[in-house]
Structure 1
Protein backbone atom coordinates (compact mmCIF):
# COMPACT_ATOMS: atom_id res chain seq x y z
CA UNK A 1 0.00 0.00 0.00
CA UNK A 2 1.56 3.30 1.11
CA UNK A 3 3.88 3.05 4.10
CA UNK A 4 4.77 5.60 6.79
CA UNK A 5 8.14 6.00 5.07
CA UNK A 6 6.33 6.70 1.79
CA UNK A 7 4.17 9.29 3.54
CA UNK A 8 7.21 11.05 5.01
CA UNK A 9 8.87 11.21 1.60
CA UNK A 10 5.65 12.51 0.03
CA UNK A 11 5.46 15.26 2.66
CA UNK A 12 8.82 16.58 1.47
CA UNK A 13 7.60 16.60 -2.12
CA UNK A 14 4.42 18.48 -1.24
CA UNK A 15 6.11 20.83 1.24
CA UNK A 16 9.64 21.61 0.03
CA UNK A 17 11.65 23.89 2.33
CA UNK A 18 12.91 26.82 0.26
CA UNK A 19 13.57 30.22 1.89
CA UNK A 20 14.47 31.65 -1.51
CA UNK A 21 10.93 31.09 -2.79
CA UNK A 22 8.72 30.93 0.31
CA UNK A 23 8.25 34.04 2.50
CA UNK A 24 7.30 31.82 5.45
CA UNK A 25 10.40 29.67 5.11
CA UNK A 26 12.52 32.81 4.78
CA UNK A 27 10.96 34.29 7.94
CA UNK A 28 12.02 31.27 9.99
CA UNK A 29 15.37 30.82 8.28
CA UNK A 30 16.43 34.35 9.27
CA UNK A 31 15.59 33.61 12.90
CA UNK A 32 17.39 30.27 12.87
CA UNK A 33 20.55 31.64 11.28
CA UNK A 34 20.71 34.43 13.89
CA UNK A 35 20.41 32.07 16.89
CA UNK A 36 23.33 30.16 18.40
CA UNK A 37 21.18 27.23 19.52
CA UNK A 38 17.85 26.16 18.02
CA UNK A 39 15.19 23.61 19.00
CA UNK A 40 12.81 22.68 16.18
CA UNK A 41 9.69 21.28 17.86
CA UNK A 42 7.78 19.04 15.48
CA UNK A 43 10.73 18.99 13.10
CA UNK A 44 9.24 16.35 10.80
CA UNK A 45 11.77 15.29 8.19
CA UNK A 46 14.22 17.95 9.37
CA UNK A 47 14.30 20.05 6.22
CA UNK A 48 14.52 23.39 8.02
CA UNK A 49 17.51 22.47 10.17
CA UNK A 50 19.25 20.66 7.31
CA UNK A 51 18.95 23.79 5.17
CA UNK A 52 20.39 25.92 7.98
CA UNK A 53 23.37 23.60 8.42
CA UNK A 54 23.99 23.48 4.69
CA UNK A 55 24.01 27.28 4.60
CA UNK A 56 26.54 27.81 7.35
CA UNK A 57 24.86 27.50 10.74
CA UNK A 58 27.67 26.37 13.03
CA UNK A 59 25.82 26.22 16.34
CA UNK A 60 23.60 23.65 18.02
CA UNK A 61 20.64 22.44 15.98
CA UNK A 62 18.18 19.99 17.56
CA UNK A 63 15.00 18.51 16.08
CA UNK A 64 12.22 16.90 18.11
CA UNK A 65 9.37 14.88 16.60
CA UNK A 66 7.17 11.91 17.63
CA UNK A 67 7.06 10.31 14.18
CA UNK A 68 9.73 7.62 13.62
CA UNK A 69 9.34 7.62 9.83
CA UNK A 70 9.90 11.36 9.57
CA UNK A 71 12.90 11.17 11.89
CA UNK A 72 14.37 8.33 9.83
CA UNK A 73 14.56 10.76 6.91
CA UNK A 74 15.90 13.53 9.14
CA UNK A 75 18.63 11.28 10.53
CA UNK A 76 20.24 10.96 7.13
CA UNK A 77 21.88 14.19 8.26
CA UNK A 78 24.22 13.22 11.09
CA UNK A 79 25.55 16.64 12.09
CA UNK A 80 22.23 17.60 13.71
CA UNK A 81 20.76 16.20 16.95
CA UNK A 82 17.48 14.33 16.35
CA UNK A 83 15.24 13.27 19.24
CA UNK A 84 12.07 11.18 19.08
CA UNK A 85 9.28 12.50 21.28
CA UNK A 86 6.41 14.93 21.63
CA UNK A 87 6.73 18.56 22.68
CA UNK A 88 5.55 17.79 26.21
CA UNK A 89 8.31 15.16 26.53
CA UNK A 90 11.13 17.66 26.01
CA UNK A 91 13.51 17.34 28.94
CA UNK A 92 16.00 20.13 28.28
CA UNK A 93 16.67 22.83 30.86
CA UNK A 94 17.68 26.33 29.69
CA UNK A 95 19.70 25.04 26.73
CA UNK A 96 18.33 26.91 23.69
CA UNK A 97 18.16 30.51 22.49
CA UNK A 98 15.31 29.82 20.08
CA UNK A 99 12.50 27.28 19.80
CA UNK A 100 10.38 27.04 16.66
CA UNK A 101 7.26 25.23 15.50
CA UNK A 102 6.64 25.48 11.75
CA UNK A 103 4.09 24.04 9.34
CA UNK A 104 1.19 24.91 11.67
CA UNK A 105 2.36 22.10 13.94
CA UNK A 106 1.21 24.12 16.96
CA UNK A 107 -2.38 23.39 15.92
CA UNK A 108 -1.84 19.68 16.59
CA UNK A 109 -1.91 20.51 20.32
CA UNK A 110 -5.65 20.07 20.66
CA UNK A 111 -6.34 19.36 24.34
CA UNK A 112 -5.78 22.10 26.93
CA UNK A 113 -3.65 19.84 29.11
CA UNK A 114 -1.39 18.81 26.21
CA UNK A 115 -1.02 22.39 25.06
CA UNK A 116 -0.11 23.63 28.53
CA UNK A 117 2.33 20.77 29.11
CA UNK A 118 3.99 21.37 25.75
CA UNK A 119 4.38 25.09 26.38
CA UNK A 120 5.82 24.39 29.83
CA UNK A 121 8.41 22.02 28.32
CA UNK A 122 9.39 24.49 25.60
CA UNK A 123 9.64 27.25 28.24
CA UNK A 124 11.96 25.07 30.32
CA UNK A 125 14.14 24.27 27.29
CA UNK A 126 14.79 27.96 26.58
CA UNK A 127 17.37 30.11 28.27
CA UNK A 128 16.01 33.18 30.12
CA UNK A 129 15.00 35.65 27.43
CA UNK A 130 14.89 32.95 24.78
CA UNK A 131 12.18 33.13 22.14
CA UNK A 132 9.50 30.69 20.98
CA UNK A 133 8.19 31.39 17.49
CA UNK A 134 5.30 29.62 15.77
CA UNK A 135 2.37 30.22 13.46
CA UNK A 136 -1.27 29.15 13.45
CA UNK A 137 -3.97 29.58 10.85
CA UNK A 138 -6.23 32.47 11.82
CA UNK A 139 -9.68 31.00 12.54
CA UNK A 140 -11.37 33.95 10.81
CA UNK A 141 -9.97 32.74 7.47
CA UNK A 142 -11.75 29.39 7.84
CA UNK A 143 -9.00 27.58 5.94
CA UNK A 144 -10.73 24.23 6.37
CA UNK A 145 -13.42 25.28 3.89
CA UNK A 146 -10.87 24.79 1.13
CA UNK A 147 -9.94 21.28 2.24
CA UNK A 148 -11.95 19.26 -0.26
CA UNK A 149 -11.32 16.98 -3.26
CA UNK A 150 -11.63 19.87 -5.71
CA UNK A 151 -8.30 21.16 -4.39
CA UNK A 152 -6.41 17.89 -4.77
CA UNK A 153 -2.69 17.69 -5.54
CA UNK A 154 -1.16 15.61 -8.33
CA UNK A 155 2.41 14.49 -7.73
CA UNK A 156 4.91 11.87 -8.87
CA UNK A 157 6.77 10.39 -5.91
CA UNK A 158 10.40 9.29 -5.70
CA UNK A 159 9.55 5.77 -6.91
CA UNK A 160 7.80 7.12 -10.00
CA UNK A 161 4.23 6.57 -8.84
CA UNK A 162 1.64 9.11 -9.97
CA UNK A 163 -0.49 10.07 -6.98
CA UNK A 164 -3.54 12.12 -6.11
CA UNK A 165 -3.71 13.70 -2.65
CA UNK A 166 -6.75 15.47 -1.18
CA UNK A 167 -8.39 16.36 2.12
CA UNK A 168 -11.98 16.24 3.35
CA UNK A 169 -13.35 17.78 6.54
CA UNK A 170 -15.17 15.34 8.82
CA UNK A 171 -16.31 17.75 11.53
CA UNK A 172 -15.95 21.25 12.93
CA UNK A 173 -16.73 21.43 16.64
CA UNK A 174 -15.94 24.72 18.32
CA UNK A 175 -12.31 25.50 17.53
CA UNK A 176 -11.43 21.89 16.60
CA UNK A 177 -11.44 20.63 13.00
CA UNK A 178 -11.19 16.93 12.16
CA UNK A 179 -10.33 15.94 8.60
CA UNK A 180 -9.10 13.02 6.50
CA UNK A 181 -6.23 13.06 4.03
CA UNK A 182 -6.43 10.60 1.15
CA UNK A 183 -3.55 9.36 -1.02
CA UNK A 184 -4.72 7.55 -4.14
CA UNK A 185 -3.71 6.33 -7.57
CA UNK A 186 -4.82 8.41 -10.57
CA UNK A 187 -7.81 6.09 -11.06
CA UNK A 188 -8.99 6.83 -7.51
CA UNK A 189 -7.78 3.60 -5.90
CA UNK A 190 -7.12 4.58 -2.29
CA UNK A 191 -3.65 3.77 -1.00
CA UNK A 192 -3.77 5.49 2.38
CA UNK A 193 -6.10 7.41 4.70
CA UNK A 194 -4.78 9.71 7.43
CA UNK A 195 -7.08 11.30 10.00
CA UNK A 196 -5.95 14.56 11.60
CA UNK A 197 -7.28 16.91 14.26
CA UNK A 198 -6.31 20.59 14.45
CA UNK A 199 -7.23 23.38 16.85
CA UNK A 200 -7.83 26.92 15.62
CA UNK A 201 -7.13 29.42 18.42
CA UNK A 202 -7.45 33.18 18.11
CA UNK A 203 -4.79 35.60 19.36
CA UNK A 204 -6.50 36.19 22.71
CA UNK A 205 -6.62 32.46 23.50
CA UNK A 206 -3.02 31.99 22.39
CA UNK A 207 -1.84 34.77 24.68
CA UNK A 208 -3.67 33.26 27.64
CA UNK A 209 -1.94 29.89 27.17
CA UNK A 210 1.43 31.55 26.65
CA UNK A 211 1.11 33.70 29.76
CA UNK A 212 0.14 30.65 31.79
CA UNK A 213 3.40 28.98 30.76
CA UNK A 214 5.56 31.99 31.62
CA UNK A 215 5.86 33.59 28.17
CA UNK A 216 5.36 37.20 27.14
CA UNK A 217 4.09 37.88 23.63
CA UNK A 218 6.83 40.00 22.09
CA UNK A 219 5.40 40.37 18.58
CA UNK A 220 2.39 39.29 16.57
CA UNK A 221 2.11 39.31 12.78
CA UNK A 222 -0.66 38.62 10.32
CA UNK A 223 1.61 37.69 7.42
CA UNK A 224 5.17 36.62 6.64
CA UNK A 225 6.25 40.19 5.89
CA UNK A 226 5.65 41.19 9.53
CA UNK A 227 2.44 43.02 8.75
CA UNK A 228 -0.14 43.61 11.50
CA UNK A 229 -2.92 41.16 12.22
CA UNK A 230 -6.01 42.51 10.46
CA UNK A 231 -9.59 41.48 9.72
CA UNK A 232 -8.37 39.65 6.61
CA UNK A 233 -5.26 37.95 8.00
CA UNK A 234 -4.93 34.25 7.27
CA UNK A 235 -2.07 33.64 9.71
CA UNK A 236 -1.26 34.44 13.33
CA UNK A 237 2.53 34.48 13.63
CA UNK A 238 3.65 34.72 17.25
CA UNK A 239 7.00 35.63 18.75
CA UNK A 240 6.96 34.84 22.49
CA UNK A 241 9.78 35.41 24.97
CA UNK A 242 10.56 33.43 28.10
CA UNK A 243 9.66 35.92 30.80
CA UNK A 244 10.73 34.02 33.89
Structure 2
Protein backbone atom coordinates (compact mmCIF):
# COMPACT_ATOMS: atom_id res chain seq x y z
CA UNK A 1 0.00 0.00 0.00
CA UNK A 2 1.60 3.26 -1.14
CA UNK A 3 1.53 6.37 1.02
CA UNK A 4 -1.47 8.59 0.27
CA UNK A 5 -0.13 12.09 -0.33
CA UNK A 6 -3.40 13.61 0.88
CA UNK A 7 -2.22 12.68 4.38
CA UNK A 8 1.56 12.32 4.04
CA UNK A 9 2.36 15.54 2.17
CA UNK A 10 2.35 18.54 4.56
CA UNK A 11 1.10 20.83 1.79
CA UNK A 12 -2.00 18.65 1.43
CA UNK A 13 -2.41 17.64 5.08
CA UNK A 14 -2.92 21.32 5.92
CA UNK A 15 -6.41 21.14 4.35
CA UNK A 16 -7.58 18.21 6.49
CA UNK A 17 -8.98 20.23 9.39
CA UNK A 18 -10.74 22.64 7.04
CA UNK A 19 -12.52 19.63 5.52
CA UNK A 20 -13.16 17.72 8.74
CA UNK A 21 -14.63 19.46 11.76
CA UNK A 22 -16.05 17.79 14.88
CA UNK A 23 -18.59 15.21 13.68
CA UNK A 24 -21.47 13.16 15.05
CA UNK A 25 -19.15 10.17 14.91
CA UNK A 26 -16.56 11.81 17.15
CA UNK A 27 -19.26 12.88 19.57
CA UNK A 28 -20.61 9.33 19.67
CA UNK A 29 -17.14 7.95 20.42
CA UNK A 30 -16.63 10.64 23.03
CA UNK A 31 -19.68 9.32 24.89
CA UNK A 32 -18.36 5.75 24.57
CA UNK A 33 -15.08 6.88 26.11
CA UNK A 34 -16.69 8.55 29.14
CA UNK A 35 -16.31 5.54 31.50
CA UNK A 36 -12.94 4.45 30.09
CA UNK A 37 -9.52 4.77 31.70
CA UNK A 38 -7.58 4.31 28.44
CA UNK A 39 -8.34 4.89 24.75
CA UNK A 40 -6.43 4.04 21.57
CA UNK A 41 -7.30 6.12 18.50
CA UNK A 42 -6.11 4.19 15.45
CA UNK A 43 -5.69 6.31 12.34
CA UNK A 44 -5.91 9.42 14.51
CA UNK A 45 -5.09 11.84 11.68
CA UNK A 46 -4.60 15.40 12.93
CA UNK A 47 -5.66 14.31 16.40
CA UNK A 48 -8.85 16.27 17.03
CA UNK A 49 -10.62 13.42 18.82
CA UNK A 50 -7.60 12.23 20.79
CA UNK A 51 -6.62 15.73 21.96
CA UNK A 52 -10.18 16.65 22.90
CA UNK A 53 -10.55 13.47 24.92
CA UNK A 54 -7.19 13.95 26.64
CA UNK A 55 -8.15 17.48 27.66
CA UNK A 56 -11.18 16.13 29.49
CA UNK A 57 -8.75 14.40 31.81
CA UNK A 58 -10.55 11.19 32.72
CA UNK A 59 -8.44 8.81 30.63
CA UNK A 60 -5.05 8.30 29.05
CA UNK A 61 -5.08 8.58 25.26
CA UNK A 62 -2.78 7.21 22.58
CA UNK A 63 -3.13 8.23 18.93
CA UNK A 64 -1.53 6.19 16.15
CA UNK A 65 -1.07 7.24 12.53
CA UNK A 66 1.60 6.49 9.90
CA UNK A 67 1.48 10.00 8.39
CA UNK A 68 4.10 12.26 9.95
CA UNK A 69 2.46 15.33 8.40
CA UNK A 70 -0.79 14.59 10.23
CA UNK A 71 0.95 13.92 13.55
CA UNK A 72 2.87 17.19 13.23
CA UNK A 73 -0.48 18.99 13.22
CA UNK A 74 -1.79 16.82 16.05
CA UNK A 75 1.12 17.57 18.37
CA UNK A 76 0.64 21.34 18.28
CA UNK A 77 -3.15 21.50 18.56
CA UNK A 78 -4.82 22.36 21.87
CA UNK A 79 -4.47 19.35 24.16
CA UNK A 80 -1.93 17.69 21.88
CA UNK A 81 0.73 17.65 24.59
CA UNK A 82 -1.49 15.34 26.66
CA UNK A 83 -1.63 12.57 24.06
CA UNK A 84 0.95 9.86 23.37
CA UNK A 85 1.37 10.11 19.60
CA UNK A 86 2.58 6.97 17.85
CA UNK A 87 3.98 7.11 14.29
CA UNK A 88 2.62 3.68 13.41
CA UNK A 89 0.57 1.75 10.88
CA UNK A 90 -2.64 0.18 12.17
CA UNK A 91 -1.72 -3.10 10.44
CA UNK A 92 1.52 -3.60 12.32
CA UNK A 93 1.25 -1.64 15.58
CA UNK A 94 2.06 -3.80 18.59
CA UNK A 95 2.20 -2.34 22.08
CA UNK A 96 2.60 -4.34 25.26
CA UNK A 97 -0.66 -3.00 26.68
CA UNK A 98 -4.41 -3.13 26.27
CA UNK A 99 -7.06 -0.41 26.17
CA UNK A 100 -10.63 0.06 27.36
CA UNK A 101 -11.73 1.50 24.01
CA UNK A 102 -10.24 1.37 20.52
CA UNK A 103 -11.66 3.66 17.84
CA UNK A 104 -10.96 3.79 14.11
CA UNK A 105 -13.19 6.55 12.75
CA UNK A 106 -13.47 8.92 9.81
CA UNK A 107 -13.71 5.93 7.44
CA UNK A 108 -10.01 5.27 8.05
CA UNK A 109 -10.68 1.54 7.72
CA UNK A 110 -11.33 2.09 4.01
CA UNK A 111 -7.73 3.06 3.24
CA UNK A 112 -6.85 -0.63 3.69
CA UNK A 113 -7.52 -1.95 0.22
CA UNK A 114 -7.02 -5.71 0.45
CA UNK A 115 -8.53 -8.42 2.58
CA UNK A 116 -5.10 -9.17 4.06
CA UNK A 117 -4.62 -5.55 5.10
CA UNK A 118 -8.10 -5.34 6.59
CA UNK A 119 -7.51 -8.57 8.51
CA UNK A 120 -4.22 -7.19 9.85
CA UNK A 121 -5.95 -4.07 11.19
CA UNK A 122 -8.54 -6.16 13.00
CA UNK A 123 -5.81 -8.34 14.51
CA UNK A 124 -4.20 -5.15 15.83
CA UNK A 125 -7.48 -4.23 17.49
CA UNK A 126 -7.78 -7.71 19.01
CA UNK A 127 -4.19 -7.54 20.30
CA UNK A 128 -4.79 -4.26 22.12
CA UNK A 129 -8.34 -4.56 23.45
CA UNK A 130 -8.87 -5.35 27.11
CA UNK A 131 -11.20 -8.35 27.59
CA UNK A 132 -14.78 -7.22 28.11
CA UNK A 133 -14.14 -3.77 26.60
CA UNK A 134 -15.15 -2.30 23.23
CA UNK A 135 -13.91 -1.30 19.81
CA UNK A 136 -15.72 0.71 17.13
CA UNK A 137 -15.00 1.56 13.49
CA UNK A 138 -16.92 2.85 10.48
CA UNK A 139 -16.97 2.19 6.75
CA UNK A 140 -19.25 3.53 4.01
CA UNK A 141 -21.97 1.16 2.85
CA UNK A 142 -21.06 -0.01 -0.69
CA UNK A 143 -24.72 -0.64 -1.53
CA UNK A 144 -25.43 3.12 -1.38
CA UNK A 145 -22.69 3.85 -3.94
CA UNK A 146 -21.86 7.22 -2.40
CA UNK A 147 -18.87 7.60 -4.71
CA UNK A 148 -21.22 8.42 -7.57
CA UNK A 149 -21.72 11.83 -5.93
CA UNK A 150 -17.99 12.63 -5.88
CA UNK A 151 -17.99 14.36 -9.25
CA UNK A 152 -16.66 17.87 -9.89
CA UNK A 153 -20.20 19.16 -10.42
CA UNK A 154 -21.66 17.70 -7.23
CA UNK A 155 -18.69 18.18 -4.90
CA UNK A 156 -17.93 21.90 -5.37
CA UNK A 157 -17.44 23.59 -1.99
CA UNK A 158 -15.60 26.51 -0.38
CA UNK A 159 -13.37 25.97 2.65
CA UNK A 160 -11.86 28.46 5.08
CA UNK A 161 -8.13 27.98 5.67
CA UNK A 162 -6.67 29.89 8.67
CA UNK A 163 -3.63 31.13 6.72
CA UNK A 164 -4.52 30.82 3.03
CA UNK A 165 -8.06 32.16 3.25
CA UNK A 166 -10.85 30.90 1.00
CA UNK A 167 -10.22 27.61 -0.79
CA UNK A 168 -12.22 26.26 -3.73
CA UNK A 169 -12.41 22.48 -3.37
CA UNK A 170 -13.86 19.67 -5.47
CA UNK A 171 -13.41 15.98 -6.24
CA UNK A 172 -13.43 13.60 -9.16
CA UNK A 173 -13.74 9.83 -9.02
CA UNK A 174 -13.24 6.49 -10.78
CA UNK A 175 -13.98 2.93 -9.72
CA UNK A 176 -12.29 -0.35 -10.57
CA UNK A 177 -15.13 -2.82 -11.13
CA UNK A 178 -12.97 -5.89 -10.54
CA UNK A 179 -11.65 -4.91 -7.10
CA UNK A 180 -14.35 -2.47 -6.03
CA UNK A 181 -11.63 0.05 -5.15
CA UNK A 182 -12.68 3.66 -5.66
CA UNK A 183 -10.04 6.28 -6.46
CA UNK A 184 -11.03 9.85 -5.78
CA UNK A 185 -9.11 12.97 -6.66
CA UNK A 186 -9.11 15.92 -4.24
CA UNK A 187 -8.48 19.42 -5.57
CA UNK A 188 -7.83 22.59 -3.55
CA UNK A 189 -7.41 25.96 -5.28
CA UNK A 190 -6.38 28.97 -3.19
CA UNK A 191 -8.66 31.82 -4.29
CA UNK A 192 -6.14 34.57 -3.51
CA UNK A 193 -3.21 33.10 -5.45
CA UNK A 194 -4.81 30.59 -7.79
CA UNK A 195 -2.41 27.88 -6.66
CA UNK A 196 -3.83 24.37 -7.13
CA UNK A 197 -3.08 21.36 -4.90
CA UNK A 198 -4.27 17.85 -5.75
CA UNK A 199 -3.96 14.21 -4.72
CA UNK A 200 -5.47 10.85 -5.67
CA UNK A 201 -6.69 8.53 -2.90
CA UNK A 202 -7.81 4.89 -3.31
CA UNK A 203 -10.29 3.43 -0.82
CA UNK A 204 -12.10 0.11 -0.44
CA UNK A 205 -15.80 -0.49 0.22
CA UNK A 206 -16.03 -3.86 2.03
CA UNK A 207 -19.53 -5.27 2.44
CA UNK A 208 -21.05 -6.10 5.80
CA UNK A 209 -20.70 -9.83 5.14
CA UNK A 210 -16.99 -9.45 4.42
CA UNK A 211 -16.51 -7.49 7.63
CA UNK A 212 -18.34 -10.15 9.65
CA UNK A 213 -15.99 -12.84 8.32
CA UNK A 214 -12.92 -10.75 9.07
CA UNK A 215 -14.07 -10.04 12.61
CA UNK A 216 -14.52 -13.72 13.35
CA UNK A 217 -11.09 -14.59 11.95
CA UNK A 218 -9.47 -11.87 14.11
CA UNK A 219 -11.08 -13.13 17.31
CA UNK A 220 -13.55 -10.26 17.53
CA UNK A 221 -17.33 -10.21 17.91
CA UNK A 222 -19.76 -7.55 16.74
CA UNK A 223 -22.24 -6.54 19.43
CA UNK A 224 -24.04 -4.05 17.18
CA UNK A 225 -24.17 -3.00 13.53
CA UNK A 226 -25.30 0.57 12.98
CA UNK A 227 -26.20 2.30 9.75
CA UNK A 228 -25.35 5.78 10.98
CA UNK A 229 -24.13 7.68 14.01
CA UNK A 230 -27.79 8.42 14.84
CA UNK A 231 -28.02 4.67 15.67
CA UNK A 232 -30.27 3.79 12.74
CA UNK A 233 -30.15 0.07 11.83
CA UNK A 234 -27.59 -1.16 9.32
CA UNK A 235 -29.89 -1.71 6.36
CA UNK A 236 -29.21 -1.86 2.62
CA UNK A 237 -29.94 1.85 2.22
CA UNK A 238 -28.12 3.07 5.34
CA UNK A 239 -25.11 5.29 4.53
CA UNK A 240 -22.72 3.68 7.00
CA UNK A 241 -21.59 0.34 8.32
CA UNK A 242 -20.57 1.05 11.91
CA UNK A 243 -19.29 -1.94 13.85
CA UNK A 244 -19.11 -1.96 17.63
CA UNK A 245 -17.91 -5.06 19.42
CA UNK A 246 -15.61 -6.83 21.79
CA UNK A 247 -13.21 -9.77 21.95
CA UNK A 248 -14.74 -13.11 21.07
CA UNK A 249 -14.64 -15.55 23.98
**Structure 1 CA distance, aligned partners of 2:165 and 2:236?**
42
Partner SS, residue 127 of structure 2: helix
Pick the aligned partner of 2:174 from 170, 176, 199. 170
1:75-128: CA deviations, max 9, x gaps? 121111000011012112442111101100011111122111121122101112
Aligned residues, how many?
A: 238
Q: Is the 8 A contact 1:38 1:97 kept in 2?
A: yes
Q: Does 1:158 align with 2:162?
A: yes
> Cα RMSD between the aligned structures?
2.0
The change in CA–CA distance for 1:42 and 1:115 in structure 2 (over 3 A counts) is same
**Kindly tell me: are residues 91 and 217 of structure 1, through their superposed partners in 2, closer, same or farther at Cα, counting changes over 3 Å?**
same
TM-score between both structures, scaled by the size of structure 1: 0.90
How far, CA to CA, are the matches of 1:186 and 1:221 in structure 2?
39
CA distance in structure 2 between the partners assigned to 1:83 and 1:94 by the alignment: 14
Q: Please tell me whether residue 73 in structure 1 is matched to residue 73 in structure 2.
A: yes
Q: Which residue of 1 aligns with 2:3?
A: none
Tell me if structure 2 keeps the 8 A contact 1:129–1:243. Answer: no
Local SS of the residue matching 1:75: helix
Q: 1:141 aligns with which of 123, 135, 144?
A: 144
Asked whether the equivalents of residues 149 and 168 of structure 1 are also in contact (C-alpha less than 8 Å), the reply is yes
Give the direction of change, closer, same or farther, for the CA distance of 1:188–1:74 in structure 2 (3 Å limit): closer
Going from structure 1 to structure 2, the CA distance change for 1:218 and 1:93 (only over 3 Å counts) comes to farther
Structure 1 gaps of 5+ residues are none
Q: 1:187 Cα deviation (Å)?
A: 8.9
Tell whether the 8 Å contact from 2:166 to 2:192 is kept in structure 1 after alignment: no
Structure 2: unaligned runs, 5 residues or longer: 1-5
Note if 1:9 corresponds to 2:10.
no
Cα offset, 1:232, TM superposition: 1.9
Aligned to 1:198: 203
CA contact (8 A) 1:182 1:190 kept: no
1:193 shift after superposition: 1.8
1:58 match: 58
**Residues in 1 aligned to 2:109 and 2:195: alpha-carbon distance in whole angstroms:** 29
Residue 104 of structure 2 corresponds to residue 95 of structure 1: no
Deviations 1:213-237 (A, max 9, x none): 0001111111212221123201111
Secondary structure of residue in 2 paired with 1:208: helix
SS across alignment from 2:231:
coil
